[in-house]
Structure 1
Amino acid sequence: MTDPAPARGIRSGILAPAYLSTTVAIFALIAFNAFETMAVTTVMPTISRELDGASLYALAFAAPLASGVVGMVAAGTWSDRHGPAGSLVTSLLLFTAGVLAAGLAPSMGVLVAGRVVQGLGTGALIVSLYVVVGAVFPPRLQPSVFATFAAAWVLPSLFGPPVAAFVAAAFGWRWVFLGIVGLVALAALMLAPVVPSLRRTPDHDRATPRSRLGWASLAAVAVLAVELLGSRDAAVLAAAAGLVVVLAVRPLVPGGTLRVARGLPSVIGTRGAMSAAFFCGQAYIVLVLQERWGLSAAQAGLALTVVGVVWATMSQVQARVVDQVSHERAMLIGSSTLLAAALSLWLVVRLDGSALLAGAAFVLAGAGMGFGFTRTGPAMLGHSTESDRGFNSSALSIADSLGAALALACCGIGFAWAESTGRDPFLAVFGIAVVAALAAVVAASRTPTGQAVTERVTR
């Protein structure tokens, strides 16, 4: 689609008439997903205690990320052949079913199963939205669209944690899940006018091998096996499952991704490593603030609130300096900031610092993610054509989810090992975040190619 007008104020941007309905629908979809993430992260320690599910705590976070990989591959294939309309609708149905199952779960095991179904929907949704951005918006506007992804987290970040804490205290944690169903319905209504324009005639020349779906399923199962086996002292089997993850992910990403080849493979690698580092912190920040410093769920949830606002703010900053700071440079700055944050959080826990310092370190991680993580989307699209946009979008999201899921599985193993040996389990968890952040810096340093191929903004 051609750009309808040169940049001149907000009306010639993503809120111009040609893009308004799509922008609003994308914003709504990301916002309800953000609210679910913030709300569930806030109440998960409570859920774990009430369902006696401490052993499955990490798995409750890793499960939807792992199963999301299957949804991502399916959505990428569907979108390349038919357009993203069908995968968008299906993703909402799966997400709703998973949320209902989790909200009605009688045990932690059933809740994890519901989270698996929910993850299928979330994975399909994210890839579908990336394809929509590439198909509808010109390169000049894509950084701004991806900035709205982060902006959609602002209100959920501000109100999600305190609302979740209030609902859990007043009505029970189940209503945190069940209440999200209403948000899904609202987003679906806003999406309805956009869907017909996203359909296209089936293109059988773009068929993707069915084996990719099998590899995705294998990778998802193997990630979950890593945590389940590792936390039960089956180290050899857990290592074998980790090897299966590596083998299964190779057909799902561009060639050279696992060896961090320059260009697109390193963009994908940067995304995965940054996600791994950040979500180790997000999954455990509320728990450490409660267990180590005695904060309430509402007080600990403030860390999630502030980090969401900072992430969104830095995403807006990177969109404004897109002419001055290349995608490659932005990713390196963001990953370096994330590494500084992970090291700071580890040191605060190691030196028994204050809850305020721990929260501040996590907020710094949000700044790095907002500035660098947000640029991985436009960088990926700059390497893509219409024929492989779905595959590359899927690969980027797969790296995001599998990176976080595998890191969380390792966190569960590290946490259980540290507790059983009398060590500090939070040092183990945040140590894994440091390693992942260091990997992100290495990958980001390799994103430039000999010739600048990343899409630049055209005036």
Structure 2
Amino acid sequence: MTETQQDRPERILAPAYAATTIGMFALIAFVAFEAMAVTTVMPGIARELHGEDLYALTFAAPLASGVIGTVAAGLWSDRRGPALPLVLSMVLFSAGLVVCGTAPTMEVLVGGRLLQGLGGGALTVGLYVLVGLAFPPRLQPSVFASFAAAWVLPSLFGPALAAYVAAHVGWRWVFLGAVALVALSALLIAPAVRGRGDHGATQGAPLSRLLWAALAAVAVLAVELLGSARGVTGLGAIPAFLVVVLSLRRLLPPGTLVARPGLPAVIGTRGLLSAAFFCVEAYIVYVLQEDWGLTAGRAGLALTVVGVIWAAASQVQARLGPRVSNTGAMRVGTALVLTGATLLVVSVVLHLPAVVAAASYVVAGAGMGFGYPRTGVAMLDESTDEDRGFNSSALSIADSLGAAFALSVAGVLFDAADRSGADPFATVFVLAAGLGVVGVLVARRTSAAGAQVA
């Protein structure tokens, strides 16, 4: 009996952790379903609303605005715990879904996506802080792996269901139907956040971080809006880029932009992983439809396979535990993302069979599954109760701004290549491969932060 009782805390579904685990799993799963669905139907939405020029912005917008939600939730969590940030994040996310579902134009839809991002950013930080408070370090890799596993069912059924709904009911219900799922997740997660109020932190980060976050979000979106403009207006992207860099210096730990060994390199690796991978993901369904003539449903199968592979790779890294260091996992992850992006460039340029292009994306997904969770583990290894919210916020900021900035640049390059007669999809995927190269180099400098899983 004694041995059984001692073993129970070693499992994330042991009685002490089951309610928290299930609640977080459900919330991630429902949000994942919406993300998979939107990625599948967005090319069709852009065509119907005559907003192809804003296609990349519909993905960059929620990531950029998510930085504001991330910083606000980080400040709040350090002071009062993750409970209220989680609740408000779901309200904002639902409001964004309603705006998107009723949008008459692409511009309004982008506005709804901005609201979604505010909620999504706060949600990420709330969950990370909750993991740090509720689970001992030895269980945290398994918790993060469960987050990836929560994408499996949405990956299996989300793309196909979204394509069916868009074809037979209308794409608007892809957004509006997800509101009910978020409401259900709120009921499921309520027991998990109960009692997770003020956890004793007495000092928080300055509120000026919110201003820098807002400035960064605006600047990231301005890079695409100005960079895609013709003539002198396009030069406005240069100061916007400088504002992004200045904002990041204020929002991330010192040394992040130069990949200082340790925590700064961990944060940088997270940003580069997201930047490279989500450049690929945002355009994979689009390119499979445009270059290979696949339907939304068939193209969405790539998302399905990647969801399963991502979750499987996450489980592998969790089971390996201390046998693979955090740095080792991040190095493998970045290398696989680089390999996938490079193969995708070759597939598009040589117009190889569609299955090769999809398989390239799957390789990148495996890299995310193996390396991405360890960025969270390494960050928590370097955190205390006083700065866990700040560091969680920084990790999510690098994640969101890295992907948002890459997508903004991708949108500019896509338009420029299209106007010049070059292959716009190949251009975007070359950008992803370049970011992958930098990610591989930065991952090598993370060894000072948690070389082993605690």
| TM-score category, normalised to shorter length | over 0.9
Q: Provide closer, same or farther for how the CA distance between residues 272 and 185 of structure 1 changes in structure 2, counting only shifts above 3 A.
A: same
Report how many residues are paired.
451
**Equivalent in the alignment of 1:258:** 257
Is 1:342 the equivalent of 2:338?
Answer: no
Measure, in 1, the Cα distance between the counterparts of 2:373 and 2:16: 24
SS of alignment partner, residue 194 of structure 2: helix
SS of alignment partner, residue 258 of structure 2: coil
1:455 positional shift? 7.1
Paired residues of 1:67 and 1:220 also in contact (CA < 8 A) = yes
Matches within 5 A, 1:271-290: 271-290=270-289
Amino acid in the other structure paired with 1:258? L
Q: Provide closer, same or farther for how the CA distance between residues 201 and 331 of structure 1 changes in structure 2, counting only shifts above 3 A.
A: closer
**Equivalent in the alignment of 1:214:** 211
SS of alignment partner, residue 295 of structure 1: coil
**Equivalent in the alignment of 1:390:** 389
Matches within 5 A, 1:321-336: 321-336=320-335
Is 1:189 the equivalent of 2:187?
Answer: yes
1:56 positional shift? 0.4
**Equivalent in the alignment of 1:223:** 220
Could you report, residue by residue, the CA deviation over 1:88-123 in whole angstroms, capped at 9, with x for unpaired residues? Answer: 000000000000000000000000000001100000
1:194 positional shift? 2.0
1:8 positional shift? 7.5
Percent identity over the alignment? 61
Matches within 5 A, 1:375-454: 375-449=374-448, 453-454=449-450
Paired residues of 2:275 and 2:399 also in contact (CA < 8 A) = yes
SS of alignment partner, residue 256 of structure 2: coil
SS of alignment partner, residue 273 of structure 1: helix
1:373 positional shift? 1.1
Paired residues of 2:81 and 2:197 also in contact (CA < 8 A) = yes
Measure, in 2, the Cα distance between the counterparts of 1:145 and 1:455: 19
Q: Provide closer, same or farther for how the CA distance between residues 289 and 8 of structure 1 changes in structure 2, counting only shifts above 3 A.
A: farther
Is 1:128 the equivalent of 2:140?
Answer: no
SS of alignment partner, residue 446 of structure 2: coil
1:12 positional shift? 3.5
**Equivalent in the alignment of 2:138:** 140
Paired residues of 2:307 and 2:365 also in contact (CA < 8 A) = yes
Measure, in 2, the Cα distance between the counterparts of 1:455 and 1:445: 11
Measure, in 2, the Cα distance between the counterparts of 1:223 and 1:247: 12
Matches within 5 A, 1:23-34: 23-34=21-32
**Equivalent in the alignment of 1:166:** 164
Runs (5+) with no aligned partner, structure 2: none
Q: Provide closer, same or farther for how the CA distance between residues 327 and 72 of structure 1 changes in structure 2, counting only shifts above 3 A.
A: same
Measure, in 2, the Cα distance between the counterparts of 1:115 and 1:331: 30
Could you report, residue by residue, the CA deviation over 1:63-111 in whole angstroms, capped at 9, with x for unpaired residues? Answer: 0000000000000000000000010000000000000000000000000
Measure, in 1, the Cα distance between the counterparts of 2:175 and 2:296: 16
Of 235-244 and 362-371, more deviation after overlay is shown by: 235-244
Matches within 5 A, 1:78-93: 78-93=76-91
Q: Which runs of at least 4 in structure 1 moved beyond 4 Å after TM superposition? A: 4-11, 455-458
Is 1:113 the equivalent of 2:111?
Answer: yes
Q: TM-score, normalised by structure 1?
A: 0.96
1:448 positional shift? 1.0
Measure, in 2, the Cα distance between the counterparts of 1:324 and 1:179: 43
Runs (5+) with no aligned partner, structure 1: none
Amino acid in the other structure paired with 1:20? A
Paired residues of 2:334 and 2:443 also in contact (CA < 8 A) = yes
Paired residues of 2:20 and 2:193 also in contact (CA < 8 A) = no
Measure, in 2, the Cα distance between the counterparts of 1:10 and 1:147: 19
Paired residues of 1:275 and 1:404 also in contact (CA < 8 A) = yes
1:439 positional shift? 1.3
Could you report, residue by residue, the CA deviation over 1:258-281 in whole angstroms, capped at 9, with x for unpaired residues? Answer: 111000000000000000000001
Paired residues of 2:266 and 2:378 also in contact (CA < 8 A) = yes
Paired residues of 2:324 and 2:452 also in contact (CA < 8 A) = no
Measure, in 1, the Cα distance between the counterparts of 2:193 and 2:255: 35
Q: Which has the higher helix share?
A: 2
Could you report, residue by residue, the CA deviation over 1:177-229 in whole angstroms, capped at 9, with x for unpaired residues? Answer: 000001101100101112222112674x3122111000000000000000101
Is 1:179 the equivalent of 2:181?
Answer: no
Measure, in 1, the Cα distance between the counterparts of 2:280 and 2:348: 12
Measure, in 1, the Cα distance between the counterparts of 2:440 and 2:334: 5
Measure, in 2, the Cα distance between the counterparts of 1:141 and 1:5: 18
Measure, in 1, the Cα distance between the counterparts of 2:409 and 2:383: 32
Aligned alpha-carbon RMSD (Å): 1.5
Paired residues of 1:140 and 1:456 also in contact (CA < 8 A) = no
Measure, in 2, the Cα distance between the counterparts of 1:308 and 1:44: 18
Could you report, residue by residue, the CA deviation over 1:260-315 in whole angstroms, capped at 9, with x for unpaired residues? Answer: 10000000000000000000010000000000000000000000000000000000
**Equivalent in the alignment of 1:371:** 370
Measure, in 1, the Cα distance between the counterparts of 2:343 and 2:27: 33
1:240 positional shift? 1.2
What is the aligned counterpart of 1:200 among 198, 201, 204? 198
SS of alignment partner, residue 197 of structure 1: coil
Paired residues of 1:139 and 1:455 also in contact (CA < 8 A) = no
1:457 positional shift? 4.5
Measure, in 1, the Cα distance between the counterparts of 2:55 and 2:295: 18
